[in-house]
Amino acid sequence: MNPIYLFAPLVFLLLCVSFLSLSSKEIWWVRVHDFPRMQYIVLAIVLLIAEVLFLDYSNLSFWLLFLPTLFVIAYQLWWIVPYTRFYSREVPQTSNLDSENSIKIMTANVLMSNRKAEKLIELVRGNNPDILVTLETDQWWQTQLEPIEKDYPYRMSCPQENLYGMHVFSRFLLSESTTEFLVEDDIPSMHTLLTLPSGENIRIHFLHPAPPSPTENEESSERDAELIMIAKSVADADIPVIVTGDLNDVAWSPTTRLFRKVSKLLDPRIGRGMFNTFHADYWFMRWPLDHLFHSKHFKLYDIRRLSHFGSDHFALFTQLSLVNSDSFESRSGIKADNDDKKFASEKLSSENVSDADVPTPN
């Protein structure tokens, strides 16, 4: 069989999934193609090599397949290169740590059916975070995590049996803490004001919106609206801000990029790596679902993906250092233009929500 008849459909398929992700459609079978960009690159590279080995490059048909395959690689790379070391860092590194003005945060989606709670407790004790946020935690998990409560006197709890329970454990004082259901009646988010030992305050939002999928929400509109609500709410905050959680969206998606633009928050992974946290059991199908974004008030001391603890997610560990105003005035992430602002407003209107609905602990 002429290999062209094998390669042509594969090239066409890769082009289709690449162009699908350009669409603003919110239906799940479109938005799912935001996720496996690295996998599409690998497939395209394999196909490119096969084309070189098995096709005659003096024939026009070779170039009609080779060039579109090369385009797919370049297009997908455009999205993910910022999450590699080939890109400049968005957040400066620091080796100086003031214990009074630093914070260690561990974000862990536990997988509600996971029964290896002792492994998570080992991770917590081994990494000693100041803040632990757990996602998918039900009443069973709340009970299992009681042994660490003595180390974390300040807590927020919302156990649920629907995969969207959430708990926050903190060594530092939490005040003005609220649990809200911003977009969906059964999907909580947590909002609090954390006080560092130095007395400095940090506004923190913990999120876990539902993904677009055939088993949950048919469209991404609910997830997108929750992210944009938070983004608009924190954009002009006059105190340090952190937003973290399992956003059920990848770092490079159009929605996450819109979140970064509108919120003016920074992503410490830019220029450092992807830190793929899902799927913990399948190395060939991984992408960054768990996130931490912060305002320009911080530098990064450490960011790590932690070891497997029985969940389908790895935990994400981030240590930030609060810096003085002279160090951050010129720093900024990607900026929103008028089209971005209009699109963000449309996202909120589609779910009839507003950034005014978001608590603003201050």
User: Which H or E run includes 93?
Assistant: none
**Domain assignment present for 89:** no
Do 62 and 137 lie in a common domain? no
Pairing of strands 241-246, 201-207: parallel
Give pLDDT, residue 51: 96
**Domain assignment present for 46:** yes
Contact yes or no for 225/212 (Cβ under 8 A): no
Do 79 and 106 lie in a common domain? no
Angstrom distance (rounded) from CA 150 to CA 147:
7
Do 266 and 353 lie in a common domain? yes
C-alpha distances out from residue 53 to 3, 56, 115, 219, 335, Å: 10, 8, 49, 41, 44
Give pLDDT, residue 343: 95
Whichever domain contains 276, its CATH number is: 3.60.10.10
Edge-to-edge strands, sheet with 298-305: 154-158, 166-170, 131-135, 102-109, 316-322, 298-305
Number of domains making up the chain = 2
Do 20 and 52 lie in a common domain? yes
**Domain assignment present for 48:** yes
Give pLDDT, residue 246: 99
Residue numbers of the domain that contains 241: 99-357
Give pLDDT, residue 325: 66
Do 248 and 339 lie in a common domain? yes
Residue 37: helix, strand or coil by DSSP? helix
Do 200 and 231 lie in a common domain? yes
Q: What is the pLDDT of residues 292-329, one digit of tens each?
A: 999 999 999 999 999 999 999 999 999 999 997 666 55
Of 283, 262, 240, the residue nearest 347 (C-alpha): 262
Do 249 and 321 lie in a common domain? yes
Q: Using the 3D structure, point to which of 51, 83, 115 is the last residue of a domain.
A: 83
Strand partners, 217: 212
Give pLDDT, residue 21: 86
**Domain assignment present for 88:** no
Do 198 and 343 lie in a common domain? yes
Q: Using the 3D structure, point to which of 25, 59, 83 is the last residue of a domain.
A: 83
Tell me the average confidence (pLDDT) per consecutive run of 10 residues in the chain, 362 residues long: 89 95 93 97 98 93 97 98 97 95 99 99 99 99 98 99 99 99 98 98 99 95 98 97 99 97 98 98 98 98 98 99 72 88 96 97 92
Give pLDDT, residue 63: 96
